[in-house]
Structure 1
Amino acid sequence: MAATHHAQVIKRDSQTYLTTALFQLLETTDLKRITVTQVVKRAGVSRMAFYRNFTTLDDLLRAYFEPAIAARFRDVSDHVPADQKLATIGAFFTEFAPMLRLATERGFEHIIRTAFDQNMTAFYQVTLAQTALTSAQRTYWTRFMSAGVYAIWREWLLDGQREPLTTIHDLIGTFQTATMRALIGGGNSRGD
């Protein structure tokens, strides 16, 4: 049991060193120009330590971002007071804004976007389970909302968070409610 615990600590430490090294390199270099060799050298670990846990540098970034983004979605879906949710999300975004800017500049935003989309899909699967929407309506409405919500958060974060968090939260809620009402109401805006 001690060896297993020790191995887990070493694995966790290696992942931390590798992640830190990769982010240090990303400060000055695009992701596509960084090699595994550069990362392991800076991290002070072996290539085997890298390949024991990851196949690509994208995998390393996914291992960093996916749990953080999933945790924010849990904050939203957990039944806690709205002001507590907003405070937690606000703190996350304050820390996350520089990372999103780095991701857009250094070519790894797709990893963040994919993790966001996966969590939006899971969140809306639960949220929409009791609606009368067809499978196609649920699928496409989820894609529509995921793209829109991501675009709003992205713009807000990269634009310096000028509006209060509550304004953005309310705006997203308004879009969500209005589009769902239109979909459920079956309104035909094409004039057919």
Structure 2
Amino acid sequence: MSAYATDMLGPALFSLMAEKNIRKVTIDELAARAGVGRATYFRNFSSKEEVLTAYLVRRWRAYEEGHHLKELAFSNPERALGYFGFCLSLRTENDLMIEQGCTDAILTAFETIVSDADLGREGSYEAALLAYGLYGIFVTWARRGWKETPQEMAGLVSRRVLGGLHP
């Protein structure tokens, strides 16, 4: 999928989701809101949830690069803090996805993020454990109203989840 398609369709889809449920958003509406043709959507995506996943992963990569997170070990509390800071930076989008039952898009994005080549764990049990564990913690945090700070969440994950894992 192209960066251009993701950059155009992702924000447009979230804009439409703020107005109505994703299941009622048509591809024609999405393409028009994004300012692209229907062919751009169909050339790059097979579902609206795939647009959401691609958008999350693309945003993560930019955040990760801007905060130099790949330079840190995965178990480093600063990397966990960056992860939760990123999640909070997309609070509106995350809340929309959770409210509308699009959590599979979030999980798929997490699987992609933790399976990155820098971890050397692509397709491993460790990558699955990290993806599903972080996903569960994240969704619980969001559903509880984001009460804890990213620092508190990073501390919890660093001590209890990632503390025993070594890259």
TM-score (norm 2): 0.70
Match of 1:27 in 2: 18
Match of 1:54 in 2: 45
Match of 1:106 in 2: 100
Match of 2:143 in 1: 158
Q: Which amino acid aligns with 2:70?
A: S
Q: Kindly indicate whether the alpha-carbon contact (under 8 Å) linking 2:50 and 2:105 is maintained by their aligned counterparts in 1.
A: no
2:72 to 79, 101, 110: 79
Matches within 5 A, 1:135-154: 139-154=124-139
Query: Which blocks of at least 5 consecutive residues in structure 2 are unaligned?
Result: none
| Higher RCO structure, 1 or 2 (CA under 8 Å, sep 6+) | 2
Match of 1:95 in 2: 89
Corresponding pairs, count:
161
Q: Which amino acid aligns with 2:110?
A: F
> More helix by proportion, 1 or 2?
1
Query: Which blocks of at least 5 consecutive residues in structure 1 are unaligned?
Result: 1-7, 129-137, 182-192
Query: In terms of Rg, which structure is larger?
Result: 1
| Distance change >3 Å, CA 121–CA 20, structure 1 → 2 | closer
Q: Kindly indicate whether the alpha-carbon contact (under 8 Å) linking 1:73 and 1:119 is maintained by their aligned counterparts in 2.
A: no
Identity of aligned residues (%): 21
3-state SS of 1:173 partner: helix
- What is the distance in 1 between the residues matched to 2:11 and 2:136? 28
Q: Kindly indicate whether the alpha-carbon contact (under 8 Å) linking 1:25 and 1:34 is maintained by their aligned counterparts in 2.
A: yes
